[in-house]
């Protein structure tokens, strides 16, 4: 009898963590390494949010709370959905978990039966397919390319739906491409979904607030109210308020689904950290200045990185609408030889050689299901980004 669960064999370790570890090892060995792998804002959590957490500790808010979120936080989330997304939810339609990650995981655990298919546009956030596998379902990638700026089209979506499709996981702006769907593009997709009433939508709106004008964020149930009864609208404070370590995510959706997700949480982790819930309450109800300030910095960095990478020999880098990632295509460099004699056959070869030669850590595209590409996170200082992009230019120019 095997000791470890068979389901684990279906899941692979996170490639983004592997890259981070390798960069850390090289750094420890004294190499000058620039890490462009981070999946979190480089800014500090705003002071008023930290103050709310300290006040919560002093007030003794250090006990269990309701399993899927304190009533006052749920009320604030309802207000947020109404104010920012035009969506009406009641507190019984809201769940709060330990990060956006647990929200998605609970939803999959609550709904997957063997054979159920989950559509995942590629490139995708690394955790989606593995979470589906852990929950016993079948991830089905919808491939895209740079030709559609890494977005799916209504035709691609329609062709991927089968009688076994249970969910579409939708993520705009996207990790890793930064691509954001306009309201019109989204309407094209929701029109297809309206023809297939058995397909539900799990929309991961984590990067809602990191978007650059003139792009405006929209979410599926807002664009097509007819989808409201089969949409789980997922969000969180991690990226919007530089709160990745606090671990608070939330979702609004049909009450029966929310209840089922709460059941899983009640038998696994119980409530998310009480202090973090108070911090999230302050984030959602307090001053929103941080969002606009960080957006200006991120947009400046996006423009810098896109411009410098497009000047690198053989790279094509679309200008993303949001998040803090770019996803350049390196097709023109496949088959070229590095000065070390190494032939670049895959995007993983490219990323490994770039790290060895120039000390720049990026994540290769195969990890996100779309090759040959790589992901750059620009959640770091302008100066560091300039240096990193100069090194990438030099490396690309050295390939023959
Ligand atoms: C697209 C996407 N969804 C969800 C998450 C998870 O967020 P959290 O840190 O709140 O669990 C991330 C984090 O990297 C992400 O990029």
Q: Is the pLDDT of residue 16 over 80?
A: no
Mutate to test the pocket of ligand 1, among 15, 20, 99 (most ligand atoms within 8 A of CB): 99
> How far, in Å, from the CA of 39 to the mean position of ligand 1?
8
Give the helix/strand (H/E) hosting 305. Answer: helix 289-310
Return the axis-axis angle of helices 347-358 and 15-28, rounded to nearest 10°. Answer: 20
Which of 14, 17, 100 for a ligand 1 pocket mutation test, highest count of atoms within 8 Å of Cβ? 100
CA–CA separation, 19 vs 2, rounded Å? 30
CATH number for the domain including 373? 3.90.1150.10
Residue minimizing CA distance to atom 14 of ligand 1: 39
CA distance 268 to 286: 31
Atom of ligand 1 nearest to the CA of 249: 10
**Encoded tokens for 122:** 């590629």
Three-state DSSP state, 139: strand
Given this model, what pLDDT does residue 17 score? 77
> 185-205 pLDDT, tens per residue?
999 999 999 999 999 999 999
What band does 278 get if pLDDT is binned at 50, 70 and 90? very high
Instruction: Tell me: pLDDT of 38 over 90.
Output: no
Q: Is the pLDDT reported for residue 13 higher than 80?
A: no
The number of beta carbons lying within 10 Å of the beta carbon of residue 198 is 11
Q: Which atom of ligand 1 is nearest to the CA of 103?
A: 11
Q: What is the pLDDT of residues 1-10, one digit of tens each?
A: 889 988 888 8
pLDDT over 90 (residue 283): yes
Among the candidates 235, 254, 285, a domain finishes at 285
The encoded tokens of residue 131 equal: 């979470």
- Give the residues surrounding ligand 1 with Cβ less than 6 Å away: 39, 99-101, 125, 171, 175, 204, 206, 236, 238, 244, 249
pLDDT in tens, 64-73: 999 999 999 9
Total domains present in the chain? 2
Averaged pLDDT for residues 156-175: 98
Quick one: 181 and 305 in the same domain?
Answer: no
Residues 6+ apart with CB under 8 A from 9: none
Position 15 scores a pLDDT of 76
Query: Model pTM?
Result: 0.97
What's the gap in Å between 204 CA and the centre of ligand 1?
Answer: 8
Distance 203 CA to ligand 1 centre (A): 12
Residues 197 and 266 in one domain: yes
Say if residue 82 is in the same domain as residue 216: yes
Please report the pLDDT score of residue 6 as a whole number. Answer: 86
User: 390 exposed, middle or buried (CB, 10 Å; 0-12, 13-18, 19+)?
Assistant: middle
18-47 per-residue burial string, b: 16 or more CB within 10 A, e: under 16? ebbebbeebeeeeeebbbbbbbebbeebbe
Going from the Cα of 381 to the center of ligand 1, the distance in angstroms, rounded, reads 21
pLDDT band at 164 (very low <50, low <70, confident <90, very high): very high
Question: Looking at the structure, do residues 113 and 156 belong to the same domain, yes or no?
Answer: yes
Q: How far is CA 115 from the centre of its chain?
A: 25
231-256 CB burial, b ≥16 within 10 A, e <16:
bbbbbbbbbbbbbbebbbbbbbbbee
pLDDT above 90 (res 12): no
Whole-number pLDDT of residue 203: 98
Edge-to-edge strand list for the sheet holding 363-364 = 325-326, 374-377, 363-364
- Both 227 and 280 in a single domain? yes
3-class SS at 94? strand
- Across the range 148-170, mean pLDDT stands at 98
Q: How confident is the model at residue 24 (pLDDT cuts 50, 70, 90)?
A: confident
Candidates 103, 123, 177, 239: which one to mutate for ligand 1, based on the most atoms within 8 Å of Cβ? 239
Banded model confidence at residue 22, pLDDT cuts 50, 70, 90 = confident
Q: Could you tell me what percent of the chain has a pLDDT over 70?
A: 100
Atom of ligand 1 nearest to the CA of 101: 11
- Other beta carbons within 10 angstroms of residue 139's beta carbon come to 19
- pLDDT, position 10: 84
Confidence at residue 361, expressed as pLDDT on a 0 to 100 scale: 95
Round to whole Å and give the CA distance between 94 and 75. Answer: 9
Please state the rounded mean pLDDT for residues 319-339: 98
Residue 55 is assigned to a structural domain of this protein: no
Check which CATH number belongs to the domain holding 230 and give it.
Answer: 3.40.640.10
Q: Which domain holds residue 142?
A: 63-285
pLDDT, average across residues 150-169: 98
Tell me if residue 329 falls in helix, strand or coil: strand
Average pLDDT, the chain: 96
CA of 100 to the centre of ligand 1 (A): 6
Q: Is the pLDDT of residue 14 over 80?
A: no
Model pLDDT, residue 51: 98
Q: Name 112's bridge partners.
A: none
Q: Which residue's alpha carbon is at the smallest distance from atom 16 of ligand 1?
A: 175
The three-state (H, E, C) secondary structure of 181-226, written as one string:
CCHHHHHHHHHHHHCCCCCEEEEECCCCCCECCCCCCCCHHHHCHH
Q: Are residues 132 and 261 in the same domain?
A: yes
Average pLDDT over residues 298-318: 98
How many whole angstroms separate alpha carbon 20 and alpha carbon 11?
Answer: 19
| Sign, Cα dihedral of 238, 244, 246, 250 | positive
Q: Is residue 363 within 8 Å of residue 19, measured between CB atoms? A: yes
Same domain, 276 and 392: no
DSSP string, 225-241: GGGGGGEEEEEESTTTT
* Residue to mutate, 238, 280, 367, 369, ligand 1, most ligand atoms under 8 Å from C-beta: 238
Residues 129 and 270 in one domain: yes
Reply yes or no on whether the pLDDT at 335 is more than 80. Answer: yes
Same domain, 112 and 241: yes
Are 38 and 78 part of one and the same domain? Answer: no
314 and 333 inside one domain: yes
Token pair for 241: 């308020």
CA of 357 to the centre of ligand 1 (A): 31
The region of weakest confidence among 12-21, 145-154, 249-258, 336-345 is 12-21
């Amino acid at each position: 009898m095997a000791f470890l669960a068979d389901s684990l064999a279906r899941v692979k370790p996170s490639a983004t963590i592997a890259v981070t570890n390798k960069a850390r090892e090289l750094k420890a060995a004294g190499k000058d390494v620039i890490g462009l792998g981070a999946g979190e804002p480089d800014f500090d959590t705003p002071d008023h949010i930290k103050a709310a957490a300290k006040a919560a500790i002093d007030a003794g808010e250090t006990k269990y709370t309701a399993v899927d979120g304190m009533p006052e936080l749920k009320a604030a989330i309802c207000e947020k959905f109404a104010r920012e997304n035009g969506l009406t939810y009641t507190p019984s339609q809201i769940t709060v978990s330990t990060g956006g990650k647990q929200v998605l995981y609970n939803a999959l655990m609550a709904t997957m039966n063997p054979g159920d298919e989950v559509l995942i546009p590629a490139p995708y956030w690394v955790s989606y397919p593995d979470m589906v596998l852990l929950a016993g379902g079948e991830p089905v990638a919808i491939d895209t390319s740079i030709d559609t700026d890494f977005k799916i089209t209504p035709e691609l979506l329609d062709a991927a739906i089968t009688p076994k499709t249970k969910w579409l996981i939708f993520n705009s702006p996207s990790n890793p491409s930064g691509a954001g769907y306009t309201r019109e593009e989204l309407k094209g997709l929701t029109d297809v979904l309206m023809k297939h009433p058995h397909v539900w939508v799990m929309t991961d709106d984590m990067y809602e607030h990191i978007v650059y004008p003139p792009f405006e964020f929209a979410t599926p149930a807002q664009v097509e109210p007819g989808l409201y009864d089969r949409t789980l609208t997922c969000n969180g404070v991690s990226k919007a308020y530089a709160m990745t370590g606090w671990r608070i995510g939330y979702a609004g959706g049909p009450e029966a689904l929310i209840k089922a997700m709460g059941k899983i949480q009640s038998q696994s982790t119980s409530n998310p950290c009480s202090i973090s819930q108070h911090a999230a309450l302050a984030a959602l109800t307090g001053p929103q200045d941080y969002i606009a300030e960080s957006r200006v910095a991120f947009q400046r960095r996006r423009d810098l990185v896109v411009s410098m990478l497009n000047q690198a020999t053989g790279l094509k880098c679309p200008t993303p609408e949001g998040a803090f990632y770019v996803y350049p295509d390196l097709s023109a460099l496949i088959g070229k030889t590095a000065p070390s004699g190494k032939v670049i056959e895959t995007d993983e070869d490219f990323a490994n050689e770039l790290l060895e030669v120039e000390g720049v850590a990026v994540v290769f595209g195969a990890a996100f299901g779309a090759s040959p590409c790589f992901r750059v996170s620009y959640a770091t200082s302008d100066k560091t980004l300039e240096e990193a992009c100069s090194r990438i230019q030099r490396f690309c120019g050295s390939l023959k």
